[in-house]
């Protein structure tokens, strides 16, 4: 089975390199490196990330860079926007339905340690976490429950998010 990488070539679905870096133009990689080295200068780092995005839109390495930047800067609403793009890309690369709610356990080998299905699960976990942090508890819980359905052995650690959700709203005195 193969997939289009978005850069004119085909790559095996299980190819970790294709997911994380293959096909990334050199200039985009340079901008990602500059963004990392200039992380402490928000505007400059973000400008480099956006330049990388213009060169290689929707490339997983660029999306992960944007996600991490927004996440660690505490810009969670913007991080959620990137997470939605990541979720769409992860679904596409795994040949899954566009709506994560429609994904079924048999749609991919979610119980394996193969990178592509795990990438989808990790992205969905990030989405669930962000939804809960932003106060969208029902949406976050729905995503956590989908994770537990897709990954019943909980290799991805969704149970921790479920426990956090259950504790939310409780007083410290309880």
pLDDT in tens, 103-138: 999 999 998 877 889 989 999 999 999 999 999 999
Q: Which residue has the higher pLDDT, 20 or 56?
A: 56
Residues 29 and 106 in one domain: no
Whether residues 79 and 163 share a domain: the answer is yes
**Stronger pLDDT, 50 or 3, i.e. the higher one:** 50
Let me know whether 87 and 124 are in one domain: yes
Within this chain, do residues 173 and 101 fall inside the same structural domain, yes or no? yes
Q: Cβ distance 143 to 100 under 8 Å?
A: yes
Model confidence pLDDT, tens digit, residues 66-79: 999 999 999 999 99
Residues pairing with 10 in the sheet: 4
Residue 121 DSSP SS3: helix
Instruction: Looking at the structure, tell me whether residues 89 and 56 fall in a common domain.
Output: no
pTM: 0.82
Are 97 and 154 in a shared domain? Answer: yes
Per-residue model confidence (pLDDT) at position 116:
84
Question: Does residue 8 lie within any of the structural domains?
Answer: no
Please give the pLDDT value at position 111.
Answer: 85
Q: What is the C-alpha separation between 108 and 117, in angstroms, rounded?
A: 6
Q: Which of 41, 56, 74 is the last residue in one of the domains?
A: 74
In which band, very low, low, confident or very high, does the pLDDT at 19 lie, cut at 50, 70 and 90? low
- Residue 7 has a pLDDT of 30
pLDDT at 15: 46
The domain total for the chain is 2
For residue 89, being part of any structural domain is answered with yes
145 and 85 share one domain: yes
Q: Is 90 exceeded by the pLDDT of residue 2?
A: no
Domain match, 60 and 79 both: no
Look at residue 3 in the predicted model and tell me its pLDDT: 33
Query: Contact at 8 Å (CB) between 148 and 154?
Result: yes
Q: Are 115 and 19 in contact (CB under 8 A)?
A: yes
Pick from 50, 74, 98: which residue ends a domain? 74
Residue with tokens 């669930």: 128
Same domain for 79 and 131:
yes
Give the tens place of pLDDT for each residue, 78-98. 999 999 999 999 999 899 999
64 & 131 share domain: no
On the question of pLDDT at 159 being above 70, the answer is yes
pLDDT at residue 17, as a whole number: 54
Same domain flag for 47 and 22? yes
Instruction: Find how far residue 118's CA is from the centre of its chain.
Output: 10
Boundaries of domain holding 49: 16-74
pLDDT value at 16 more than 80? no
Q: Is residue 120 part of a domain?
A: yes
């Amino acid at each position: 089975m193969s997939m289009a990488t978005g850069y004119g070539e085909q790559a095996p679905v299980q190819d970790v390199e294709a997911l994380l870096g293959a096909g990334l133009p050199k200039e985009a990689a340079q901008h990602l490196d500059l963004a990392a080295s200039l992380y402490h200068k928000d505007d400059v780092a973000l400008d480099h990330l956006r330049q990388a995005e213009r060169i290689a839109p929707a490339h997983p390495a660029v999306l992960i860079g944007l996600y991490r930047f927004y996440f660690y800067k505490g810009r969670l609403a913007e991080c959620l926007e990137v997470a939605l793009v990541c979720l769409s890309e992860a679904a596409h690369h795994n040949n899954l339905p566009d709506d994560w709610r429609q994904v079924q356990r048999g749609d991919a080998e979610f119980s394996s340690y193969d990178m592509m299905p795990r990438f989808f699960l990790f992205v969905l976990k990030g989405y669930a976490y962000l939804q809960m942090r932003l106060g969208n508890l029902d949406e976050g819980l729905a995503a956590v429950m989908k994770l537990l359905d897709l990954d019943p052995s909980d290799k991805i650690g969704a149970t921790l998010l479920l426990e956090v959700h259950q504790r939310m709203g409780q007083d410290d005195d309880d």
